[in-house]
Amino acid sequence: MVLRLLLHLTFLGHGTIRPLIQGHGFHLLVVAWPSLFDLSSPQEVQDTIQIPNNGSAPLLVDVQVFVSNMFNVDILRYTVSSMLLLQLSWLDTRLAWNASVQPRRAVTLPWDSLWTPRLNIQEALWVDWKDQSPQARVDQDGHVELNLALTTETNCGLELLHFPRDQSNCSLSFYTLSNTVTESEFQAHVVNKIVSVKREYVVHDLNAQVPPQWLEPCFQVMLSLKNTALKSITALLVPGEALLLADLCGGLLPLRTTERIAYKVTLLLGYLIFHSSLVQALPSSSCNPLLIYYFTILLLLLFLSTIETVLLAGLLARDSLEDKNSPSPALRGGQQDYENLGPNPEEAPRRAKGSRSSWAEAADHIFFLMYVAGVVCSQFIFAGIWTWETCKSDPAPGRAAPRLQPMP
């Protein structure tokens, strides 16, 4: 096979060359130092290729971030998983060629054959780059465009004080360690490409920014997450309020019936199980969700109601037992004592027994009214705390070491 070969060499600086080879179905464009051809690994090639020179100004790398999906928001681990597409573009004049000599407008090159920014994500726990060998598109004027698709799981400082009506901001900080801010800088833009919102957390705002005072070139993508709260309201708030209402209805049962104690104790045991499941389902932090305190107060109210029922019912049962075991008035004293009881000796014990019963029932009625008022007041107080309470998480002891998740 006859191969047409066109080789154009241009010396740049300290011996850097730019060969352009054209053949039948074969194009190759390489930027390298002379010793580069002796290197075997792509990492060594990347370490040898120098960043394009932009004079006294740093090289501007334009980044378009397309957020295509956001899923698996784990409030216990404070993590968020997302799918992104990065479109990076910059100008490398060393890759430009003469259009009259080579009429081809653009070529496609392996990413490891030219300089590319080596991106890391500071908050990442893991990163899955979809294309392990991405291709870069180079125009005849030296304009380079590189597309990177990735799925990542990152840490997020979720603000769960008002869970399940919480809103949080999560950041993804992309940076490169191969260059300094004097050599390159990023100009980032973000586009929301999420089309499915059938999940508990949804993205209601996106923005990109370049944080100041970074020693490395960096840009951040900010995701504002909002909880739709439907699942949490159904699974947490409705059962809690239902148990509280059932406890209030239990106070209408007569105090003398044994079913009331069994009813109260059953509610208390059921609420203990529910409260244990709730605590395990919510995270712990310096700003715990208000729901934890709310359901703990409901637990104390239910416990207080059960204790009141047990105590009063126990006192009545004890008095009734003493009346059954006490001897008759004739056996307890002489005839004089028996006569002192009046014309109806059984009237005094019945009157004393009736007074104790009436006192217990009156105390139970007063407690029930106070309990209802306390429950209603607790709901209004919690609503006020929910509206006005704010909490700022404890500051980090220091800036954490970045998690290196290099491009493939």
What are the backbone angles phi and psi of residue 313, rounded to the nearest 5°?
Answer: -65, -35
Tell me the mean pLDDT in the region 346-365: 68
pLDDT given for residue 322 in this prediction: 67
Distance CA(207)–CA(202), nearest Å, equals: 15
pLDDT given for residue 325 in this prediction: 66
Percentage of the chain exceeding pLDDT 70: 75
Of 28 and 165, more confident? 165
Task: Please name the fold of domain 56-228.
Answer: Acetylcholine Binding Protein; Chain: A, (2.70.170)
Distance of CA 185 to the CA centre of its chain: 30
Does residue 317 have a pLDDT over 60? yes
pLDDT given for residue 67 in this prediction: 95
How far apart, in Å, do the first and last CA atoms of the chain sit? Answer: 35
Place of tokens 């306390």: 374
Distance CA(43)–CA(4), nearest Å, equals: 31
Band (pLDDT 50/70/90 cuts) for residue 15 is: very low
Tell me the mean pLDDT in the region 343-351: 52
Q: What is the pLDDT of residues 143-174, one digit of tens each?
A: 999 999 999 999 998 999 998 889 999 999 99
Long-range contacts of 6-11 (CB under 8 A, 24+ apart): 6/101, 6/102, 8/97, 8/98, 8/101, 8/102
What's the pTM value of the predicted model, to 2 decimals?
Answer: 0.73
CB 138 within 8 A of CB 95: yes
